[in-house]
Structure 1
Amino acid sequence: MARDRRPHRPHQEATLGCNDPANLDDGTMRATAFALTALTAEDEARIAALVKRAAS
């Protein structure tokens, strides 16, 4: 799930969310969303790794 910034709320970040079936658990904690203030090449690589991990 991804949400775009809303043009009328410039302080709001885009979010990348994860559902329960995603394999992103880290012990007793699980990431449910990440806030993105910008999208760099490093961020894109990290997102790709997270999606690959979530789908495994």
Structure 2
Amino acid sequence: MILDEEVQQQRKLKIEPIQGSYNSYLVDEKGKRDWSGNIYLACLATILVIAFFT
């Protein structure tokens, strides 16, 4: 289900100058992972394994 609410997430940015270039920077974005999809898949896989072996 798609909600009309916008979720604010804080992003961690690491900005480094690129060696040998003028006024160019490398931006490394580190964000939090969303584990909800992985947890859902793990539960589904566990249920399927239990159903297969019983």
Q: State whether TM-score is above 0.5.
A: no
Larger RCO (CA under 8 A, 6+ residues apart): 1
TM-score by length of 1: 0.30
Larger helix fraction of residues:
2
TM-score by length of 2: 0.31
